[in-house]
Structure 1
Amino acid sequence: MAEIKTKANDCSVDAFLASVDNAKRRADGQELCKLMADITGEKPVMWGPAIVGFGATEMTYANGKKVDWMRVGFSPRKASLSLYLTCDLDQLSDQLADLGTYSRGKGCLYVKKLEDVDPAALANLIEVAYATAGE
C-alpha cells in the first residue's frame, strides 16, 4: 500500500500563505491561521505542500490503516478555503446550523470567503472539532 504523502514538515507557513496568488484568499488564510492558532494553542505546521495544520492525532481508515494527521487545518485553495476538521461532521449539526454559507465533503468544509460565515460559529466549530479530533 502506498504511503500517505501529506505529512507534517518544516516548510514555512508564513512563506506558504504569502505565496497565495489571490489577495483575498491570502488575507483569509492569514486570518484563519491566527484564529486556529488562538483556539488550539498550537503553532501552525505545514502538512504536505499546501495544508496548514494544528495539532496531531492518529486517524484510522476504514481498512484499518493508521496515519498521523492534523487535528484541524485549512488550505487556501483556488476555488475556496478548505477547512480540514478531523471529526464526524454529522455530529456537529448544531455548530453547522449557525455557520452560514459553506459546502462540505466527508471531513472538510469549503468556504468561499470568511465573511460568508459567522465568526463566532466558526470559532465554536473549530474548538469542538479540535477537542473531538480522532474520536
Structure 2
Amino acid sequence: MAETKTRATAASVDDFIAAAEPPQRSEDAKIVDAMLRRVTGETPKMWGPTIVGYGQYHYRYDSGHEGDMCRLGFSPRKTQLVLYVLTGAEGEDALLAKLGKHSTGKSCLYIKKLADVDMGLLEEIARRSLACMKEKYPI
C-alpha cells in the first residue's frame, strides 16, 4: 500500500510564510495564519513542504488506507492562497455565496487576494469546518 507523503515536519512555519511570493501573498498568509491559530487554538506545523496545518486527525478509508492529516490548513501558493477548510458542513454553501471572489475544489477554497473576501465569513467557514472535523474525527 502506498505511504502517505504529506506528514507533519519540523520545518519552520514562520520561515515558510515569510518566503511566500509575491510579497502580498506572504502578508495574506500571515493574516490567515493568525486567524487559523485563533480559530483552532493550535500552533501550526508544516505538513509536507507546502501546507501549514493546524491540529491533527487520524483517518481510515474503507480500502484500508489510513493516515494522519491536519484538521485545517492552508498553502500560500504563487497564484493564490489555498485553504483546506471545506467539509460540506451545513450552511457552508450559503457562506461561500456571500464570501466574495473565490473558487472551490473538493475540500479547497482558492482565494487570489484576501482583500477580495469577507474575513468575518472566512473565519466562520473555518470555525464550522473545525466543528465538522471534530465531530467526524473526534481524536
Q: For 2:99, what is the secondary structure of its paired residue?
A: coil
Q: Which runs of 5+ in 1 are unaligned?
A: none
Q: For 2:74, what is the secondary structure of its paired residue?
A: strand
1:53 aligns with 2:53: yes
Q: Which runs of 5+ in 2 are unaligned?
A: none
1:102 aligns with 2:105: no
Select between 60-69 and 73-82 the one with higher mean Cα deviation.
60-69
1:112 aligns with 2:112: yes
The aligned amino acid for 2:78 is K
**CA offset at residue 61 of structure 1?**
4.0
Give the distance between the partners of 2:27 and 2:123, measured in 1 at CA: 17
Give the distance between the partners of 1:53 and 1:34, measured in 2 at CA: 12
Q: For 2:68, what is the secondary structure of its paired residue?
A: strand
Give the distance between the partners of 2:116 and 2:74, measured in 1 at CA: 16
Give the distance between the partners of 2:115 and 2:85, measured in 1 at CA: 19
- When normalised by structure 1's length, the TM-score is 0.91
RMSD value, Cα: 1.7
**Counterpart contact for 2:71–2:133, Cα < 8 Å:** yes
1:1-135 alignment runs, 5 A limit = 1-61=1-61, 63-85=63-85, 87-88=87-88, 92-133=92-133, 135=136
Give the distance between the partners of 1:59 and 1:88, measured in 2 at CA: 17
- When normalised by structure 2's length, the TM-score is 0.89
Q: For 2:53, what is the secondary structure of its paired residue?
A: strand
**CA offset at residue 41 of structure 1?**
0.6
**CA offset at residue 91 of structure 1?**
6.0
**Counterpart contact for 2:86–2:109, Cα < 8 Å:** no
CA deviation digits over 1:42-76, x for unaligned, max 9? Answer: 10110001110001112344634222111100000
**Counterpart contact for 1:86–1:133, Cα < 8 Å:** no
